[in-house]
Amino acid sequence: MERSPITRRSRGTGRVRIEDVARAAGVSTQTVSRFLRAPAQVGPEASARIAAAILEVGYVPNLVAGSLASNRSRIVAIIVPTLANPVHAQPVQGLSDALRPQGFQVLVGTTDFQAETEAALIHAFIGRRVDGLAVTGGSFAEPSRQLLEAAGTPVVQLWELPEQPFDMTVGLSNAAIGARMAAHFAERGYRSLAVIGHAEASDTRSAGRVTGYCAEAKRLGLADPLVLLPQRPMLIRDATPLLDRLVIQGVEAVFCTSSQLSVVLLLNTRRLGLAIPSDLAIGGIDSDFATLVDPAITAIRVPAYDVGLKAGRLLLRRLAGEPVPERRIDTGFTFIQRGST
Q: Does residue 189 lie within any of the structural domains?
A: yes
What pLDDT, on a 0 to 100 scale, did the predictor assign at position 2?
38
Q: How far apart are CA 298 and CA 282, in angstroms?
A: 7
pLDDT in tens, 271-303: 889 999 999 999 999 998 899 999 999 999 999
The residue segments making up the domain with residue 57 are: 5-61
Q: How far apart are CA 280 and CA 269, in angstroms?
A: 9
Total count of domains within the chain: 3
Q: Is residue 10 very low, low, confident or very high in pLDDT (cuts 50, 70, 90)? A: very low
Whether residue 234 is found in the same domain as residue 256 = yes
Q: Does residue 337 lie within any of the structural domains?
A: no
Name the percent of the chain lying above pLDDT 70: 91
Mean of pLDDT values over 175-202 = 94
Whether residue 205 is found in the same domain as residue 296 = yes
Whether residue 81 is found in the same domain as residue 129 = yes
| Residues 6+ positions from 138 with CB-CB distance below 8 Å | 157, 159, 160, 161, 162, 165, 169, 171, 204
Is the Cβ–Cβ distance between 209 and 177 less than 8 Å?
Answer: yes
Is the Cβ–Cβ distance between 215 and 192 less than 8 Å?
Answer: no
Q: How far apart are CA 257 and CA 262, in angstroms?
A: 8
Whether residue 92 is found in the same domain as residue 211 = no
- The H or E element that residue 170 is part of is strand 168-171
Q: What is the pTM of this model?
A: 0.78
What pLDDT, on a 0 to 100 scale, did the predictor assign at position 62?
58
pLDDT in tens, 51-85: 888 888 877 765 555 554 445 678 999 999 988 88
Q: 14, 39, 61 — which closes off a domain?
A: 61
Whether residue 297 is found in the same domain as residue 178 = yes
Q: Does residue 66 lie within any of the structural domains?
A: no
pLDDT in tens, 319-330: 999 999 899 999
Q: Does residue 341 lie within any of the structural domains?
A: no
What pLDDT, on a 0 to 100 scale, did the predictor assign at position 84?
81
Whether residue 90 is found in the same domain as residue 167 = yes
Is the Cβ–Cβ distance between 80 and 111 less than 8 Å?
Answer: yes
Distances 212 to 43, 179, 195 between C-alpha atoms, Å = 51, 5, 11
Whether residue 48 is found in the same domain as residue 196 = no
What pLDDT, on a 0 to 100 scale, did the predictor assign at position 5?
41
Q: Does residue 310 lie within any of the structural domains?
A: yes
Which of 3-12, 61-70, 126-135 has the largest mean confidence?
A: 126-135
Q: Taking 50 as the threshold, does the pLDDT of residue 259 lie above it? A: yes
Q: Does residue 327 lie within any of the structural domains?
A: yes
Whether residue 188 is found in the same domain as residue 296 = yes
Residue 26's CATH number: 1.10.260.40
Whether residue 181 is found in the same domain as residue 256 = yes
Q: Does residue 340 lie within any of the structural domains?
A: no
Mean pLDDT of the chain: 88
Residue 108's CATH number: 3.40.50.2300
